Structure 1
Amino acid sequence: RTLEALSCEDSFIPVYASASNKIYPFQIAAADFALRSPYQKGVVLCDEAGLGKSHEAMLVITQKWLEGRRRILLAVPNAGLLCQWTAMMEELYSTPYIVLSTHTQWDALATEDEPNPFLRDAVVITTYEFAAANENEAGAVPWDLAVFEEANALSTVYQEGNQQAKALKRVAGGAFKLLLTGTPIEKNIMDLYGLIWFIDETVLPDDREFLARYLRRPERYPELSELVRPYCFRTLRIQAADYAKVPRRVLLTYEYAPSPQEQMLYDLLYAYVNQPVKLAFPEMDPYDLALRLLGLQGSSTAAILQTIRGVIRRLEQIPNAAGEVAQWREMERAALEVKREAKATELLYALKLGFAAMKKRGEARKAVIFTESVETQNMLLPLLEGAYRTALYRGGTDYSAIQTFKGGGEVLLTTDNGARGFNLEEAAFVIHYDLPYNTLKLEQRIDRCHRLGQENDVLSLAFINRDNLSDVRKLELASKRTLVSGGVFGLTDSVLGGFTNDLNAGFRDAESRLRPRAQVEADYQETLIRNEEENRRAVSAAEDVLFTTFSRELAQRVNLSPQYISHKAEELNEALWQLVKTFFLRYNETNTDCVFVIDEEAKTVTATEYETLPVLFYYWTGSRNRPYRSQKRYGMGGGFKPRAGQITFSSIIGQGVLHEIECANAGTLTVEGTIEPCRIGLYTVTLTGGSARREIPVLRGVTDSVRALSEDECRAVLALPVLDCAEDGSRSPHWLKGRSAPHELDKLVPVGALLEQEAEKLSPAQAEEMERMKLRCNGHKAALARKLDGLEVQVRALEAERESVTGDRLKRLSLEKEATRLRRELMKGRESQFFDAMRLDVELEEQIQKFAEQEKLTAKVIREFMIAVTGGN
């Protein structure tokens, strides 16, 4: 059974090194979706934020690593997220990685033997900026997998301007591209277009046609959803709530009143916006100018004051602008009259109310405050620091503010740079001091705290001034953009609600809906019991994927929540430990340069009595074999240090043991109990077809009375307690075994059934690939038609222009000649279009036929061993 589990190379093996980490069915489904087809060029994993896309990506990364596809690039948009990823990998995973994001790291990793640091025997974690800046070196690596965190930053790759995104697409090259984003539609529907274009520019119509068909066309969102379905996988919180702890989100929107001094400044700004002549903004649309200026004032007086002073300096350089300078000087004086802003005062009171309520519920006093403006941050910081342990984050490479807040901090004051990717589940109080125009930014802000791992219900408080034109417009956009995202992907939660102009009453209502932490847990357990049967079906489906579709190989402490199958992880870890012991005991038997001491209780292996640590084996790096030198100490525990010595299925030592472990070609086995003597063989059936390759272990047996034994019967015999065993013949690892002399038992291997089953699994992926071929062909045809349609439009325009000319015969003649020329070109094009379309159809048919021939499955059968089994007492 253990050998069956560990011999399947083409398997999906999620590897966790911490008992606290859990795999959820929807995360398995996401990884299954990403790896379902050997033909697709990539996918977008776009779960609602907080549902663990990084862990889904690690399932895919681990799978590729275990398949021997070791050229893996992981790119993140900033250094803060880089730190978060490395912390997660260091704590929870044993897949080797390096960080390459600075020239200092470059110099440390570059060697004479390999001057390109991107070519390493590890997952290469870098930033967008560094990978794009070093495109030649990064692009020289034939990546197997390229993962892009917060991939919404790549959505304008199809446009002329985003040179960084274009460079990253070139760097990824032919790799499978895994894009992670909780906001696949951030501004409009073209964001989604760009993400799929980044993966494969051939599968969608051109951007103009896509824009015309889907932008602001909600009636076509179901059609669009079907179109992008093969490329996008999204789980909503509501879908996960029956088996994962997803706390409530309670919304409170406070309509505050500005002070008289703030209202006076607003009135001056509003009057300026509406005056007919504005020397400071001569070209700007009044509505856009209103949103800009009134939005800044809505953020803070400090934010608008900086703009006022900048305008004054600019006007002083313009002749005859003294009158307008005087207007802006009046605004400056009005701004200086604002000594304490009403919203800032209400913020301090809201924190007092919120922290008092959190104390009652047994929560940590922690709040995250988002602002739009750095100047607003500068104004708030001294007010907050006087009352709370406050950390300030503005983005950039300094991650210490986030770490300080996650530790002993009480308030994190941040711009929207803190809303992307960070895990802030330590806090359950989110405050939108300013509203952004982009609704999905609100969602991203809340999702920093409202995510898996959050133990408390989350309170989201937004401030709004209903008398400010900018704030009113933001409310309108919130409704419209929610409609777009919901129409294509679906949304679980609102981002604004609970409107009130009485902060005390608003908090009383919110507090009545926020549960104590113990109640959150109790309700979750009740939900598990209530949905137990449905959960069992969901987990069973996930189990089928986890243990059958991909493999039964699991590593350290894998838990599927609800934890119905965690015992299988323990069973497989124990099997791995037995193989590790066997490997090192055999090393001690055959070598004298080192003695490995095995501690069964602690599950550690320690090197002793050596001058130099020995080379244990050679391993494949993706481009060559490299010697692996032993560590001083190895261990099975999730918290074992150093991390490089941790034994898991994905670590180099674990992979090496599985690769090098040897068994004899034949042997005898005496088991406890009365059984009919039999022979049992373990076979590896390698199925290959074009891009697909899979190894399937098969057990088959036959009794002395010539009764065939099924897979399950063979397992049952091998599971009996062993009384005695002996090997016969030379030992060799799986990868060195060749074809043995034929045996009657070989005929029982169900090669035909396995080929049929594998073909059935591949059929949907192959059909999908053929459909992509057809779409590309139709796209070429559509491009031919669009070109001719353009000529026809030109002919009609010339004819209309000719008819409008009455007195100029020469001009009419010239227009007629040009129209005649274009008509001839159009007729020739129509004739050519017919034959070009036929040619494209023939080429498509040949392409599909060639694809079908290439993908035809073949089978190769290798007998690993044959064992004679008898019963005894």
Structure 2
Amino acid sequence: MYSSYQAKYFKEQLTLKRPSNSIENLVSALAGARVDLNPHQVDAAMFAFKSPLSQGVLLADEVGLGKTIEAGIVLAQYFAERKRKILLIVPAALRNQWLSELDEKFYIKSIILESKNFNRLKKQGMMNPFEQKDSVVICSYNFVASKQFEVSKVNWDLVVIDEAHRLRNVYKTNNVTGRKLKDVLNNRRKLLLTATPLQNNLMELYGLVSIIDDRVFGDAKTFRDKYINVDNEMTRNIFLKARLQQFCKRTLRKQVVEYVPYTKRTAILEEYTPSIEEETLYNEVSEYLRSPVLYALPNSQRTLMTLVLRKLLASSSFAISGTLDSLILRLQNMLAGIDSEINLDDYDTLDELLEELDLAGEEDKVDAIKQHYAISEELEKLKSYAKLAKSIKRNSKGENLLTALEKGFSKATELGASKKAVIFTESRRTQDYLYNLLSANGYEGKIVFLNGTNSDENSKRIYKEWIERHKGEDIVSGSKQADTKAAIVEEFRSKAEILIGTEAAAEGINLQFCSLLVNYDLPWNPQRIEQRIGRCHRYGQKNDVVVINFLNNKNDADKRVYELLDQKFKLFEGLFGSSDEVLGSIESGVDFEKRISDIYQNCNTADEIRTAFDKLQEEYREQINEKIINARQTLLENFDEEVSSLLKIRNSETNSSISKYEKWIYYFMLSQGNNNIKVIDDTRFQYIGKEYSGAYNLNWKDSDNRKEIFLRREHPLCQKFIEQCDQNELNLAEITFNYSQSGRKISFIDTLIVKKGWISVSKLVNNSFEEQEYLLVSAICDNGVEIEADLVDRLMALEVLSVKNVESNIIERIVNHQKQLELQTIKDIEMKNKEFFLQECAKLDEWSEDLKNNLQVEIKDIEKLIKEKKKEFDNSIDLDLTQMLDRKEELNKLKRLRDKKRRELYDEEDKVDEENDRLQAQMRSRVKGSTQVKQLFTIRFDIR
């Protein structure tokens, strides 16, 4: 059916190392991803590959536009190029989400490194656990900062930094973590992701760009003088925007509505009144937590523990009851001289809080003998609280949930949605309580769980059935935690009506088939709430999303928290949810939670609570600065018309390139698999072999629906065929293509007068700024008519009638055509490299001018001071002689300093120029690079 020449041709198309800044370079990543690609995401990924000389870029799309997908495309391309030393730095709360997204959408394996497994790997003999093979290393900010030595020893191909606005104040000496990261990652290529690159002042842009590349702007003082302390902001914006556009890219949600259909979110507030017993328990435990000294809580972690205990207290009596037992046990052990930790496993995200707050230090040692009376007194209090908690069998909030679900399902049905709801709680014990409550009230057999362990019997059964159902399929990752999550979500989608999840459920899962979300426990962290809602209110959601929130109407602090989240942060209603300005103003969600916790901890009366929240609200209002919003729009955003036009072009390019790539992989598999492949249609085939047997499909959605294997270049069967194809040596042959019986209509073949000729294919490899390969395809009919390379693609897709070796001299014309292609390709490479070179030179020239200007400004500042001091001296006639001499000496010192700086100026300017010349000379030597050409095959063709 097909020949080894066709297999070779399509294999080379699939594996060619094209220029990094071309759309064709990305197609293997794009075609092999399980995502609905949007043109703005492809455009962002293209921007990241803009120049091989670039030290990195900042992708600053608005919230909800898929920066994870954009980064995933870039990472997938790095993996395809075997550049797999990749470090991903993210907030602790997002580590699992990134791990899941990379695995499920891009087939990229990763490992989360934190203290426990880092130390375990060291003990197992791994010298540097950051040295991972074929896995992305995911770490929190604090962990990377704490492991500078080990991080610095890895030659990273790429470092991705999510929520990079955390580093925008890196230029400040008190930003210890930021400065550590900047130092250890210097000269590594970086991809920064943030929706809020500019929040408070223009120096933040200086900080972020300096993380990427220290040789863009001069120092911080020069940046202030040149771009902040200016009279004409319009002129400033023009010049600063020109310098930023090389490094920063930002797309807005309103610019992509043509490609990303957004549904709305609607809020329902369910107020409830706690029982007398519930209110008593809440007040007594709250008062206990305010005690100046608490032995049950280690001082080193008291802030964290108090925050967690308050959340569990607000969740349910069942949640706090179990935690009180753990506190009681700790005090009893203390009296017995035994050290023990508090068991807070009920709270899923404890490890993340520890990581984020960097509080995982040693506990304080307490002399239990000396403090025996105080500990015993505290123990009795805790026992009384625990007794009260256990006596409460019904929770008012839980009873209201039944009513709220009826309202929610009614609203969802009205909006055309299916009867599905996800309920979020912050406690596993509350999760158990809700399961029993709902099961007893009409939902038995319709509920699934999702938490950090999923150790319940129902989850185990669902997992076991899922593994059996998907045996041998790509969907099974081998990670029990990831596969359990996938099994639960599938069960929820296909059978269950309710998913009760802890925070673990908000990470890395796609619930766009569900449009009713219940915040049974409302987090204080707005970013966490947005993450929860984003599980349902996301790309692919067909219905408006209903969000139900609960509010204790007898708790003044709860009321103000809800008001802040709803009215000021606008999390629950509208088309997009919270704005970037709002979410970005919250430097760290955990820090914000601490602020809220402090109010609960320190305010007793309604007036105190109101005053504290008013102050907090005013702080965040000041941070959402209209002047800065305008500056961000001017400097980082492009006009809608410009963006719209570019996205249309990018959409067309992407679809065209992916379509061509899919044909290459399809025909490569057919031509290399020949006898073992049975064609189903033009995107699917059946492969029968000792291994990897099954139905293969180029379309990931269709493959999921049909339970077929999604065909990617990285699939083991395709890789096996590529290795086999590389071993083939191809001699001169004559191939007869079967066009007349192909059932295809190819106009260019129909117009050919002579349907015989020559095809020659060679590969040009150039090593300059990067290694890049080009396929040189020459096709000439015997009457001299040339066939374009794109048309050779279609010819090569035809089945063959015969292949026979020939002994014939290759015509001179085809040899000459190949030589011309070679020379033109080299010329094009040099022209493109020249552009990269000049662009980088311009950047370095501006950087060196900034440094030199700063040296001159320093002298001008001294001269200004000399004038002031001289004026003071001239007016010092009333002073005594000693004072006059002191002033004269001060003036002379300044003059000597000025003269010294003048002499040094030329030396310093020469040093700057020398460094600039050195860097440019390094690049200049690589502009042309070296070139090799390898002949792949030449054939005589005959089209029948």
Same fold (TM > 0.5): yes
Identity %: 23
Is structure 2 residue 36 aligned with structure 1 residue 36? no
- 2:130–2:137 Cα contact (<8 Å) kept: no
CA 767–33 in structure 1, closer or farther in 2 if over 3 Å, else same: same
Is structure 2 residue 105 aligned with structure 1 residue 50? no
| Aligned-partner Cα distance in 2 for 1:741–1:430 | 70
Q: What displacement does 1:39 show?
A: 0.7
| Aligned-partner Cα distance in 1 for 2:862–2:451 | 56
Deviations 1:767-809 (A, max 9, x none): 3312220122023213313433453465456557655794443
| Aligned-partner Cα distance in 2 for 1:427–1:351 | 14
Per mean C-alpha deviation after superposition, the further-off stretch among 42-51 and 80-89 is 80-89
Task: Find the partner of 2:214 among 201, 213, 238.
Answer: 201
Q: What displacement does 1:429 show?
A: 6.1
Is structure 2 residue 195 aligned with structure 1 residue 152? no
Aligned to 2:149: 136
Aligned to 2:36: 22
- 2:270–2:548 Cα contact (<8 Å) kept: no
| Aligned-partner Cα distance in 1 for 2:201–2:177 | 21
- 2:162–2:194 Cα contact (<8 Å) kept: yes
Q: What displacement does 1:832 show?
A: 3.8
- 1:664 is paired with a residue of what secondary structure? coil
- 2:735–2:802 Cα contact (<8 Å) kept: yes
| Aligned-partner Cα distance in 2 for 1:255–1:805 | 80
Aligned to 1:670: 736
Letter in 1 for 2:758: R
Per mean C-alpha deviation after superposition, the further-off stretch among 802-811 and 461-470 is 461-470
Task: Find the partner of 1:696 among 765, 774, 780.
Answer: 774
Aligned to 2:804: 726
Aligned to 1:237: 253
Aligned to 1:781: 852
Is structure 2 residue 795 aligned with structure 1 residue 685? no
- 2:732 is paired with a residue of what secondary structure? strand
Q: What displacement does 1:813 show?
A: 1.2
Task: Find the partner of 2:542 among 445, 448, 455.
Answer: 455
Deviations 1:417-468 (A, max 9, x none): 9999876656656789999999988876765554323332245789428994
Q: What displacement does 1:487 show?
A: 2.9
TM-score computed with the length of structure 2 as normaliser: 0.60
Q: What displacement does 1:101 show?
A: 4.2
Task: Find the partner of 2:898 among 813, 817, 826.
Answer: 826
Aligned to 2:650: 541
CA 253–650 in structure 1, closer or farther in 2 if over 3 Å, else same: same
- 1:43–1:232 Cα contact (<8 Å) kept: yes
CA 168–742 in structure 1, closer or farther in 2 if over 3 Å, else same: farther
Letter in 2 for 1:21: V
Aligned to 1:6: 14
Letter in 1 for 2:848: C
- 1:118–1:137 Cα contact (<8 Å) kept: yes
Letter in 2 for 1:206: D
Task: Write the mapping of 1:329-478 to structure 2, written as runs, cut at 5 A.
Answer: 353-360=407-414, 361-364=416-419, 366=421, 425=512, 428=515, 447=534, 449-458=536-545, 463-464=562-563, 468-469=610-611, 477-478=620-621
- 1:49–1:182 Cα contact (<8 Å) kept: yes
- 1:680–1:702 Cα contact (<8 Å) kept: yes
- 1:225–1:489 Cα contact (<8 Å) kept: no
Aligned to 1:621: none
Task: Write the mapping of 1:228-307 to structure 2, written as runs, cut at 5 A.
Answer: 228-244=244-260, 246-250=261-265
| Aligned-partner Cα distance in 2 for 1:369–1:210 | 46
| Aligned-partner Cα distance in 2 for 1:709–1:400 | 51
| Aligned-partner Cα distance in 1 for 2:928–2:220 | 36
- 2:42–2:70 Cα contact (<8 Å) kept: yes
CA 776–108 in structure 1, closer or farther in 2 if over 3 Å, else same: same
Per mean C-alpha deviation after superposition, the further-off stretch among 212-221 and 98-107 is 212-221
Q: Which structure has greater helix proportion?
A: 2
Task: Write the mapping of 1:833-848 to structure 2, written as runs, cut at 5 A.
Answer: 833-834=905-906, 836-837=908-909, 840-841=912-913, 844=916, 848=920
CA 449–783 in structure 1, closer or farther in 2 if over 3 Å, else same: farther
Per mean C-alpha deviation after superposition, the further-off stretch among 345-354 and 467-476 is 345-354
Aligned to 1:89: 102
Aligned to 2:361: none
Is structure 2 residue 786 aligned with structure 1 residue 772? no
- 1:73 is paired with a residue of what secondary structure? strand
Task: Write the mapping of 1:619-658 to structure 2, written as runs, cut at 5 A.
Answer: 636=696, 648-651=712-715, 654-655=718-719, 657-658=721-722
- 2:14–2:664 Cα contact (<8 Å) kept: no
Q: What displacement does 1:142 show?
A: 1.0
CA 187–829 in structure 1, closer or farther in 2 if over 3 Å, else same: closer
- 1:675–1:871 Cα contact (<8 Å) kept: no
| Aligned-partner Cα distance in 1 for 2:925–2:202 | 38
Deviations 1:374-426 (A, max 9, x none): 9xx9999999997798999999xx999999996579698989x9999876656
Aligned to 2:555: none
Q: What displacement does 1:817 show?
A: 0.7
CA 353–870 in structure 1, closer or farther in 2 if over 3 Å, else same: closer
CA 36–720 in structure 1, closer or farther in 2 if over 3 Å, else same: same
Aligned to 1:868: 940
**Structure 2 residues without counterparts, runs of 5 or longer:** 1-8, 19-24, 277-291, 293-306, 321-391, 440-446, 454-480, 550-561, 568-606, 635-642, 741-752
Task: Find the partner of 1:813 among 863, 885, 901.
Answer: 885
Letter in 2 for 1:650: E
- 2:97 is paired with a residue of what secondary structure? helix
Letter in 1 for 2:763: T
TM-score computed with the length of structure 1 as normaliser: 0.64
CA 572–404 in structure 1, closer or farther in 2 if over 3 Å, else same: closer
| Aligned-partner Cα distance in 2 for 1:485–1:350 | 41
Aligned to 2:667: 575
Task: Find the partner of 2:816 among 735, 747, 768.
Answer: 747
CA 254–81 in structure 1, closer or farther in 2 if over 3 Å, else same: closer
- 1:98–1:122 Cα contact (<8 Å) kept: no
| Aligned-partner Cα distance in 1 for 2:869–2:520 | 58
CA 111–806 in structure 1, closer or farther in 2 if over 3 Å, else same: same
Task: Find the partner of 2:87 among 69, 73, 78.
Answer: 73
- 1:242–1:535 Cα contact (<8 Å) kept: no
Aligned to 2:630: 487
- 2:886 is paired with a residue of what secondary structure? helix
| Aligned-partner Cα distance in 1 for 2:423–2:870 | 65
- 1:27–1:56 Cα contact (<8 Å) kept: yes
Letter in 1 for 2:664: L
CA 606–701 in structure 1, closer or farther in 2 if over 3 Å, else same: closer
CA 457–824 in structure 1, closer or farther in 2 if over 3 Å, else same: same
| Aligned-partner Cα distance in 2 for 1:460–1:479 | 29
Size of the aligned set, in residue pairs, is 705
Q: What displacement does 1:30 show?
A: 0.9
Q: What displacement does 1:149 show?
A: 3.0
**Structure 1 residues without counterparts, runs of 5 or longer:** 262-279, 281-294, 307-338, 492-533, 555-564, 586-596, 608-630, 730-739
Letter in 1 for 2:837: Q
- 2:776 is paired with a residue of what secondary structure? strand
CA 6–826 in structure 1, closer or farther in 2 if over 3 Å, else same: same
CA 840–207 in structure 1, closer or farther in 2 if over 3 Å, else same: closer
